[in-house]
Amino acid sequence: MTEVATARRSRITPEREAELYGAVLDLLREVGYDALTMDAVAARTRSSKATLYRQWGGKAELVAKAVRHSKPGGIGLEEIDTGSLRGDLHALTLRSDDCEMEQNSALMRGLAMAVHGNPDLLQAFREHLIEPEIAEFHRLLQRAVDRGEVAADNPASGFMMHMMLGAFVARTLLDEQPPTQAFILSYIDAVVLPALGAPVD
């Protein structure tokens, strides 16, 4: 595909996009954010740097979108609708197996460090990762409110993301091990649902 054709169509295929995001994540795991170059991404994916910049604007945006695309918690949350908050949160957890969760945890730890020296990365993360996830969690929670599982004014509703993210981070720091499905499921049942006053069984 020539540059002109790409520019005219202005969008690449979903398959090509997935392949490209996968290559970005591989490079991130290999060299980290600071050492990652658009040249390396172009070489690895056999695309031109011009195409990458036109499609993604820059390295920070490309990385944020690649992470969002790969995150089971990010993409596809809207497809989950089991009929109960517990079911939805458990289904969400079970989307990634323990091996994926460990890889994801290592990747996010590296990126959380890179964010400090790169305000553009933090901005891209907010826009493409954090805000969409907050919005999706709110939709999931709103359905629980609509079903009568959670009171509309439950004060824990505003801490949904804090509770969930906290479990992942604290598990890594306190227990020196990556979060497992079993850990997250028991945390949801012991902390998140009781705090929200939602049924645990």
Residues binding a copy of itself (CB under 8 A): 109, 112-113, 116, 122, 126, 130, 134, 154-156, 158-159, 161-163, 165-167, 169-171, 173-174, 176, 186-187, 189-192, 194-195, 197
Cβ-based nearer residue to a copy of itself, 45 or 136: 136
Q: How far apart are CA 191 and CA 103, in angstroms?
A: 25
Give the residue among 145, 158, 161 at the shortest CA–CA distance from 74: 161
Cβ-based nearer residue to a copy of itself, 52 or 124: 124
Minimal distance, residue 163 CB to a copy of itself, in Å: 6
Q: How far apart are CA 60 and CA 123, in angstroms?
A: 8
Minimal distance, residue 65 CB to a copy of itself, in Å: 19
Cβ-based nearer residue to a copy of itself, 99 or 174: 174
Minimal distance, residue 8 CB to a copy of itself, in Å: 39
Cβ-based nearer residue to a copy of itself, 50 or 170: 170
Minimal distance, residue 190 CB to a copy of itself, in Å: 4
CA-based diameter of the chain, in Å? 57
Q: How far apart are CA 23 and CA 154, in angstroms?
A: 42
Q: How far apart are CA 41 and CA 25, in angstroms?
A: 10
How far CA 15 is from CA of 19, 21, 82, 114, 123, in Å, comes to 6, 10, 28, 28, 27
